[in-house]
Amino acid sequence: MPRGTQAIIGANVVVFLIQMATSNAGFAPLALWPLGAGFAPWQLVTYGFLHGGFTHIFFNMFAIYMFGSALEQFFGTRYYVTLYFVSVVVAGLTQLAVNALLGSFEPTLGASGGVYGLLLAFGMYFPQQRIMLLFPPIAMPAWVAVTGYAALELFLGVTGTQAGVAHFAHLGGMLGAFLMIQWRRGKPPFFPRRRR
């Protein structure tokens, strides 16, 4: 496992173990709170290291290991880690906007925004790579899985299905990764990058 992926997973696991050992005491200011309900700028990063239970962190860390390792080897550690954190931050900004529109005052936590950013990047750079997801347990090309997950998240978010899950944050994570990839490629909405 490359060092960047190791560091991301390791930091999440350490924070989760401290959460469990302290029964989450003192962690509330690190979750992503809506504007006007306890929001602070640092929460756009710190919320991505908090998780609501073993299942929550297990699936997120499994996905980071599954997609992150290949992406880090392809991109290099610096760009890979930047892409991950941009996905987390854009996911957080998206969730803040949705919470403001809906008048929600519930906090958001979890690495899922970063995970969905990695999923999108994997699908864009390895579209024909066949992957076996846990849900559904069927091998399929990466681009099919990414498209399916994006459509599902949009449907669940618009219909309000699965209350308590930040579906628009997941889509925001994908948006963050897409913007990073477009910047890397020198394509809209960014100016073409000059070659030296």
* Residue 195 clears pLDDT 90, i.e. is over it: no
Q: CA torsion sign, 171 to 106 to 134 to 118?
A: positive
Residue 106 to residue 150: CA distance in whole angstroms: 23
**Residue 171 vs residues 34, 51, 78, 194: alpha-carbon distances, Å:** 18, 19, 23, 30
**Angstrom distance (rounded) from CA 44 to CA 193:** 28
Whose CA is closest to 93, among 156, 160, 176?
176
Q: CATH number of 3-185: 3.40.190.10, 2.70.98.10, 3.30.930.10, 1.20.1540.10?
A: 1.20.1540.10
Q: Is 129 helix (H, G, I), strand (E, B) or coil?
A: coil
Q: 125 vs 165, which has greater pLDDT? A: 125
- Residue 134: the pLDDT is 67
pLDDT in tens, 89-144: 999 999 999 988 888 888 999 999 999 999 999 999 999 988 877 666 888 888 88
Q: Tell me the average pLDDT across 81-94.
A: 96
Q: What span, in angstroms and rounded, lies between the C-alpha atoms of 176 and 92?
A: 10
Q: Rounded to the nearest 5°, which phi and psi values hold at 32? A: -90, 105
Write the pLDDT tens digit of every residue in 27-78: 889 999 999 888 999 999 999 999 988 889 998 999 899 899 999 999 999 9
Q: Is the pLDDT of residue 193 over 70?
A: no
pLDDT of residue 168: 87
The answer to whether residues 90 and 171 touch, using CB atoms and an 8 Å cutoff, is: no
Give alpha helix (H) positions in 22-136: 43-46, 54-63, 69-75, 77-102, 112-125
User: To 5 degrees, how large is the angle CA 68–CA 135–CA 92?
Assistant: 55
Q: Which run of H or of E encompasses 94? A: helix 77-102
Two structure tokens written together for 121? 């990047």
Residue 151: per-residue pLDDT: 86
